[in-house]
Amino acid sequence: MTFRMSKTENTRFIKSTAMELGFSFCGIAKAEFLAEEAPRLVQWLQRGYGGKMHYLEKNFDQRLDPTLLVPGAKSVVSLAFNYFPSKDLAETGNLKIAKYAYGEDYHFVIKDKLKVFMDRIQETIGEIAGRAFVDSAPVHERAWAKKSGLGWIGKNSLLLNKSMGSFFFLAELIIDLELEYDGPVKDYCGTCTACMDACPTDAIPQPYVVDGSKCISYFTIELKEGIPQEQKGKFENWIFGCDICQDVCPWNRFSSPHHEPLFEPHPELAQMRTSDWNEITEEVFQKIFKKSAVKRTKFSGLKRNIQFVEK
């Protein structure tokens, strides 16, 4: 049965449903070509800041035009899901992995929530066409989140929100339903350069621009070959991803712990010490990281990272 509601009612329903499913913020923007982002993306790629991430050069048009991903798309619903942990495992002085990888792989956890979200929209609003995305297709998610008022792009190129900082995942619903649209918020970075000053590999050469080919996350996750020797001694014990530019950001003092049980770390991960990391076997790796994003780097990649940091 199709329920016919007004644009305002549909918008209100989508935003309230987002909150019910555990999302911290929901903003909506008109699905249209991202004209402002196109030249920036071209310049970023031409500078070689994508490193060996050649997939960023593919589907260039789709990355900027949501109607190429969902024909007839009218709205991009941007969502933020908190992953800030109650305990920062990096504070124990051991080898470190990024906070987003403590629990189960966010791709699957959030995708399941988005499936429920789409089902509820179909049940309440009616038959609409659309797709759900969570870092799973060429969607320029930070640009859409900014456009829909979830926050502003910080000098470390991450989305920042006044009330919760930047420790959250972004996801999108691109649908062919016209809704009421939100507008962007102002930039509150001011004169602060904490993220730029703290980066040990100088991966932020200028405000709002990150050289991905110098980022610790790139070296420890994306790069499949040997890590360049000139980076030796710069990783500050990070072996999967890096949180440095987020940890020093003043806005992250407003971060509060998430309430998602699936993002809690594996009990053994919370107990890992440097000697455990050095002696980790493939069996232990598969046990602890069975459902984790850390599996992306594979056992061989994680061992490479540990050896690079330790030797």
Task: State the burial class of residue 101 (Cβ atoms within 10 Å of its Cβ: 0-12, 13-18, 19+).
Answer: buried
> 54: pLDDT confidence band, cut at 50, 70 and 90?
confident
Report the pLDDT averaged over residues 241-268. 97
pLDDT score for 1: 41
What percent of the chain is predicted at pLDDT more than 70?
Answer: 98
* Residues facing residue 168 across a β-bridge: 82
Beta-carbon contacts of residue 171 (< 8 Å; ≥ 6 apart):
23, 78, 79, 81, 110, 114, 132, 133, 134, 135, 141
Q: What is the mean pLDDT of the chain?
A: 94
Residue 228 has pLDDT above 50, yes or no: yes
Higher pLDDT, 124 or 311: 124
Map out the domains of the chain as residue ranges.
Answer: 7-87+99-175, 194-310
Looking at residue 104, the DSSP 8-state letter turns out to be S
Nearest to 67 by CA among 184, 174, 208: 174
Helices (H) and strands (E) in the chain, counts: 12, 8
Based on the residue annotation, tell me whether 135 is a catalytic residue of this protein.
Answer: yes
pLDDT score for 61: 83
Question: Among the options 112, 135, 187, 247, which is catalytic?
Answer: 135
* Residues facing residue 132 across a β-bridge: 173
Show the tokens assigned to 158.
């991450």
d(CA 245, CA 196): 7
